[in-house]
Structure 1
Amino acid sequence: MFSTMVSFFNVVYFVQVIGVISLVLTLGSLNVKVAECRVASGPGNIEYPAINCRKHSAVLTDFGGVGDGKTSNTKAFQSAISKLSQYASDGGSQLVVPPGKWLTGPFNLTSHFTLFLHKDAVLLASQDESEWTQIPVLPSYGRGNDAPDRRSISLIFGTNLTDVVITGQNGTIDGQGSYWWDKLHKNELKVTRPVLIEIMYSDQIQISHLTLVNSPNWFVHPIYSSNIIIQWLTILAPVKSPNTDGIDPDSCTNVRIEDCYIVSGDDCIAVKSGLDEYGIKVGKPTQHLIIRRLKCRVASGPGNIEYPAINCRKHSAVLTDFGGVGDGKTSNTKAFQSAISKLSQYASDGGSQLVVPPGKWLTGPFNLTSHFTLFLHKDAVLLASQVESEWPQLPVLPSYGRGRDAPGGRFSSLIFGTNLTDVVITGQNGTIDGQGSYWWDKFHKNQLTLTRPYMIEIMYSDQIQISNLTLVNSPSWFVHPIYSSNIIIQGLTILAPVDSPNTDGIDPDSCTNTRIEDCFIVSGDDCISAKSGWDEYGIKFGRPTQDVIAKNVTYSAKLEGISNDPFTGICVSNVTIQVSEQKKKLQWNCTNVAGVASNVTPVSCPLLPEKGKFDCPFPNDKLPIENVQLKTCSSV
């Protein structure tokens, strides 16, 4: 990671998957006013915004340029810019690239100069390596990224300049990087690959309103420079293109990046200050940045999938990177465990996500980590192992005092976590199949010596999201957050046979601030059961479940007491249950209970009659969990 001596204000490294970024820093030195400039184009003029307009103008064809996609225009660009440089002290100049495909090798810019690309202009970088001049390595890097010694000059290059604009009508610069990527993969590089645009030791730079594609290496690299505006760029790199960073301000001061869309094979934006000890020696930090209205994705797989989450992640991996095999037969327990162990190192560096791709992934239990997302593709199916030796044994829960199926301990849940912060389990409605019949059969035959595993259990944790999944055939309860807080459970489809034992859907247990919404549950037992432990053990533990919100409900409540010994003293007040359009006719089903209700919608059952306006001792203000806003993240 290129992170030496970075000194800036609240700017985040943008590596791997990024959502929509909105970060504004008010810095007086960056409140640059742009002028409306003009380019002569056929019968009329094209206006464009720029930091400065130019007094003199020329077109590439004035210098022998040929836009047929085959003829080299390297000399045309070099001649044009050399000629126009004489006007640097006389109002500056602009070079217009008209419609056409303009094959070219590298060329150097000049001061007080604008390079303008017509909307139908395409610059094609030459793949003739002899056209690419070799230059020394950067002093703050000490060596090349691809090879130890020299590097190829950038396609568009400038050093020691003032007042430079590279802009257009969204014209295209195509780095034709496949030639260089192939050489990298074959270890045939003797010098570091070129960057698409690099400006060094310069001041007052604008790069805007262009489409940049297929860079051999990084796309935009201002270095040792100041007062830089980068805006309205569309940057596109194909899947797995190596090191195709989007925008890398490097040892720069006063940088404004805004309104860009980036799909990159590597970092979208990486704020750099050289490499390791070389950057420290040069001692020029990057500082004073504005980054706003930016959409960034990393190209990974055939496309990107956006999904809502409490937090997006900086690092991403796929299960197959760790030896996963999705044939429905091979055990992937070690693959999951290895992947999460590896990704846990990023908990303090923007977090990580593990993507489960299409396939049937047989696995035993695995433990999650903090600042982590488990994402299931729509065609991914996790199959719980029926090999009992793969299931670790855990102590009984302190608020339960003993096992529910047997007096001793219990099996670990399939997906388990304890003492975590910021955990997301989500997908495109991918499936987790607990293959519970093995366990149900043992339960019915009284062959269990330990309590059956749950499907998902998170303990002693904070900030949990479980969403957009199909969960089927859990050995016991499906979703069991316990001793935890700030939990969002939404968009789950939970299915179990009617006669499957104890297959509760969602059981928040001794939890605070829980939001459950938009779920469909068919269960062999309770759909949702808010718990606080068991009998005297729960009372002794003394941690109630509180502050629960349920939305888009089809069936409000079922209250069942004990025949001839009803539950009494029940009080329900100030409750509004948001029922869906597909609501059931009977909303409250009550037997063997007694109590009162006040201000309840839908109206409660006759055994809990309305008794005027009063408050039970329950919270009635808006709960913090209602205010959580999900970000838009991206995955394979």
Structure 2
Amino acid sequence: MAASMETVECAGRSVHHPGGSAGSSTKGGAVGHRAHTASLKDFGGVGDGTTSNTKAFQAAVAHLAQFAGSGGGGMLFVPAGRWLTGPFNLTNSFTLFLHRDAVILATQTLALCILLMAASMETVECAGRSVHHPGGSAGSSTKGGAVGHRAHTASLKDFGGVGDGTTSNTKAFQAAVAHLAQFAGSGGGGMLFVPAGRWLTGPFNLTNSFTLFLHRDAVILATQDMSEWPVIDPLPSYGRGRDHAGGRYSSLVGGSHLTDVVITGDNGTIDGQGAFWWKKFHEGKLKYTRGYLIELMHSDQILISNLTLLNSPTWNIHPVYSRFDHVPNPNLRPSLIYIEAMAVTEISKFCSNIVISQITILAPVQSPNTDGINPDSCSHVRIEDCYIVSGDDCVAIKSGWDEYGIAVGMPSQHIIIRRLTCISPTSAVIALGSEMSGGIQDVRAEDITAIDTESGIRIKTAVGRGGYVKDIFVRGMNLDIMKWVFRMDGNYKSHPDNKYDPHAIPVIKGISYSNIIAKNVKQVARLHGIPNAPFAGICISNVTVQLAAKARKQTWTCTDVEGVSSGVTPAPCSSFPDQGAGAKPCPFPAGRFTY
């Protein structure tokens, strides 16, 4: 806390203003009275612009959280200085107050060694080795990168690209990727830089050992000329397109059987111009299934980060058939530990096969099927620090549809979702299924925030799906304005055709939900399993739900589900007997994935 305290006017009452200058005043109720105050320095904060203060912010908020509500609330004061930090969450009855000379700096853990493409090239240090830095200023240097070293760079303009928003750049993108493809593997890889501008294009595919980097003022615009959208075969695990039987349009940015691919930027934008597609979909004028914004198939060592995705025709990010079947070094195992300052090839050895980080996804909440991120028959995926507003599930984990998914038999497993923020009034924050016939296992989600979303966690399946959903662990959700916190549907009637096996009964077991706070909720849970095949092994602990003013009279509905509970308010249905105050919390695994 600053040494001097001054009194100012705020919403008609006197409050302390830390670090104020003589004669300063504030009106309009921005700070609010808090009974307890603390300075970031009290928790080891160092405002030198280089020391990480993530733990200091988290510890300070955790300390002040004890004073929420009747405790009078807490205020965290950030003194003058440059306070480097990763993401941190706030708490109830809380004020975050910044001194006029305080700067909270977002960490660049997934920082960009390669920033801007220009004529000049300079050398910088990244992950302990020398890489080319396009557009750097004299004497600049960067350490600790995460984009990955590429020996060769090119600008879209070098291939005739025109960023005027009307000229088609499909051939320019295709030519640029084809040129850089020659440097894959031992050639050192290639990076394609998309400068500031509006770059209209049809679909194009990426290549191996490749980085697609967007300038902060670059917008890749999906063309509305349908002749530029190739039609490709349906996915084998689906047997048909999702909108229609038969084929599907290619994704805007795609690729198959790739290794070491980075799609990133200085928060550049990819705009699918989806309104064109949504209108045709609603009018029934599409012969084929809409294309995704980004789809990588049979690919590994993937990083998608630091981008804004707008108005996808349908799903935004769809990694599919991506496996992690071997580890290059037996001493290096993927783990839950976040490895900083690694090149992408090194990240893949330590952590996840696919990393999707610091992505903003925006679509109108009425837009059809605009799911945010959908890992599909993928292994070792990490989704973190993403903000999603969509017309469908923010994250949906899938693994194939009925007999086609059973035949392919490729599960989604070992998936981490953390620090996700979601808004989706008609769908789920995290959905498992309904296409889950290859199986879903070992999903770990934590530190999830949602506002105005239909359900927190939803499992959806049906007779004929086969497969399984098991070992699902969710903790640390903060929800506001929900229809349901928990939802399970064992009768989700959608099938690719009438050839599904009516004896293919999905297995749902080992589901753990803990440490969840929700308010303005219409009904706590709607949980319906499958007759004679109940969803089992469900654990719910430390859950507090505040019902909305017009909540349903029956706070829980449960059929064909089995489990236990502890510390749950309002009390659950009889399917989840309370284990008492001494019960252990629901499990959440620590440490490494199991191979």
Q: If the length of structure 2 is used for normalisation, what is the TM-score?
A: 0.51
Match of 2:376, SS state, is coil
Q: Match of 1:384?
A: 222
CA change 1:409–1:312 in 2 (3 A) is: same
Q: Match of 1:559?
A: 458
Contact 1:576 1:602 in 2 (8 A): no
| 2:387 equivalent to 1:497 | no
Contact 1:358 1:379 in 2 (8 A): yes
Q: Deviations over 1:23-72 (max 9, x none)?
A: xxxxxxxxxxxxxxxxxxxxxxxxxxxxxxxxxxxxxxxxxxxxxxxxxx
Among 172, 183, 200, the alignment partner of 1:335 is: 172
Among 375, 399, 404, the alignment partner of 2:213 is: 375
Contact 2:200 2:220 in 1 (8 A): yes
Q: How far 1:441 moved relative to its partner?
A: 1.0
CA change 1:509–1:571 in 2 (3 A) is: closer
CA change 1:423–1:577 in 2 (3 A) is: farther
Q: How far 1:541 moved relative to its partner?
A: 1.4
Residue type of the partner of 1:523?
S
CA change 1:619–1:546 in 2 (3 A) is: farther
CA change 1:372–1:609 in 2 (3 A) is: same
Contact 2:402 2:466 in 1 (8 A): no
Contact 2:541 2:585 in 1 (8 A): no
Among 607, 610, 618, the alignment partner of 2:564 is: 610
| 2:446 equivalent to 1:446 | no
| 2:297 equivalent to 1:430 | no
Looking at structure 1, the residues matched to 141 and 355 of structure 2 have their Cα atoms a distance apart, in angstroms, of: 21
Looking at structure 2, the residues matched to 538 and 340 of structure 1 have their Cα atoms a distance apart, in angstroms, of: 32
| 2:421 equivalent to 1:547 | no
Among 117, 125, 148, the alignment partner of 1:311 is: 148
Q: Deviations over 1:562-597 (max 9, x none)?
A: 99x9x9999765724355xx7547683322434455
Superposition map of 1:151-300 within 5 A: 240=119, 265=122, 297-300=132-135
CA change 1:350–1:583 in 2 (3 A) is: farther
Looking at structure 2, the residues matched to 406 and 305 of structure 1 have their Cα atoms a distance apart, in angstroms, of: 52
Looking at structure 2, the residues matched to 352 and 503 of structure 1 have their Cα atoms a distance apart, in angstroms, of: 31
Higher strand share: 2
Q: How far 1:296 moved relative to its partner?
A: 5.3
Residue type of the partner of 1:533?
G
Residue type of the partner of 2:385?
D
CA change 1:583–1:297 in 2 (3 A) is: farther
Q: How far 1:312 moved relative to its partner?
A: 2.4
Q: How far 1:315 moved relative to its partner?
A: 1.3
Among 450, 469, 485, the alignment partner of 1:588 is: 485
| 2:475 equivalent to 1:577 | yes
CA change 1:239–1:484 in 2 (3 A) is: closer
Looking at structure 1, the residues matched to 236 and 587 of structure 2 have their Cα atoms a distance apart, in angstroms, of: 27
Match of 2:377, SS state, is coil
CA change 1:510–1:330 in 2 (3 A) is: same
Contact 1:410 1:452 in 2 (8 A): yes
Q: Deviations over 1:356-411 (max 9, x none)?
A: 11100000000000110101111101100000000111011100101111211111
Looking at structure 1, the residues matched to 301 and 383 of structure 2 have their Cα atoms a distance apart, in angstroms, of: 14
Q: How far 1:309 moved relative to its partner?
A: 3.0
Match of 1:338, SS state, is helix
Q: Match of 2:294?
A: 456
Residue type of the partner of 1:463?
Q
Residue type of the partner of 2:162?
V
Residue type of the partner of 1:481?
P
Residue type of the partner of 1:549?
I
Q: How far 1:557 moved relative to its partner?
A: 3.2
Match of 1:399, SS state, is coil
Looking at structure 2, the residues matched to 601 and 373 of structure 1 have their Cα atoms a distance apart, in angstroms, of: 43
Match of 1:511, SS state, is strand
Looking at structure 2, the residues matched to 570 and 292 of structure 1 have their Cα atoms a distance apart, in angstroms, of: 40
Contact 2:304 2:357 in 1 (8 A): yes
CA change 1:604–1:420 in 2 (3 A) is: farther
Match of 1:610, SS state, is strand
Q: Deviations over 1:498-538 (max 9, x none)?
A: 11111111110010011111111111111111001112211
Q: How far 1:543 moved relative to its partner?
A: 0.8
Among 181, 184, 187, the alignment partner of 1:344 is: 181
Q: If the length of structure 1 is used for normalisation, what is the TM-score?
A: 0.48
Q: Match of 1:528?
A: 395
CA change 1:513–1:321 in 2 (3 A) is: same
Q: Match of 1:324?
A: 161
Among 238, 242, 248, the alignment partner of 1:400 is: 238
CA change 1:293–1:542 in 2 (3 A) is: closer
Higher RCO structure (Cα 8 Å, ≥6 apart): 1
Looking at structure 2, the residues matched to 470 and 292 of structure 1 have their Cα atoms a distance apart, in angstroms, of: 26
Looking at structure 2, the residues matched to 532 and 618 of structure 1 have their Cα atoms a distance apart, in angstroms, of: 23
Residue type of the partner of 2:564?
E
Further displaced range: 298-307 or 379-388? 298-307
Q: Match of 2:513?
A: none
Among 196, 217, 224, the alignment partner of 1:358 is: 196
Contact 2:375 2:396 in 1 (8 A): yes
Q: Deviations over 1:90-142 (max 9, x none)?
A: xxxxxxxxxxxxxxxxxxxxxxxxxxxxxxxxxxxxxxxxxxxxxxxxxxxxx
Structure 2: gaps spanning 5 or more residues = 1-116, 324-352, 420-447, 488-525, 530-534, 546-555, 566-578
Match of 2:396, SS state, is coil
Looking at structure 1, the residues matched to 247 and 379 of structure 2 have their Cα atoms a distance apart, in angstroms, of: 26
Looking at structure 2, the residues matched to 305 and 597 of structure 1 have their Cα atoms a distance apart, in angstroms, of: 53
Match of 1:518, SS state, is strand
Q: How far 1:542 moved relative to its partner?
A: 0.9
Residue type of the partner of 2:458?
L
Residue type of the partner of 1:300?
G
How much is the aligned-residue C-alpha RMSD, in angstroms? 3.9
Match of 1:439, SS state, is helix
CA change 1:407–1:617 in 2 (3 A) is: farther
Looking at structure 2, the residues matched to 559 and 449 of structure 1 have their Cα atoms a distance apart, in angstroms, of: 31
Contact 1:517 1:551 in 2 (8 A): yes
Looking at structure 2, the residues matched to 514 and 421 of structure 1 have their Cα atoms a distance apart, in angstroms, of: 15
Looking at structure 2, the residues matched to 420 and 466 of structure 1 have their Cα atoms a distance apart, in angstroms, of: 14
Residue type of the partner of 1:475?
P
Q: Match of 1:122?
A: none
Looking at structure 1, the residues matched to 537 and 356 of structure 2 have their Cα atoms a distance apart, in angstroms, of: 27
Q: How far 1:423 moved relative to its partner?
A: 0.7
CA change 1:408–1:561 in 2 (3 A) is: closer
Contact 1:572 1:600 in 2 (8 A): no
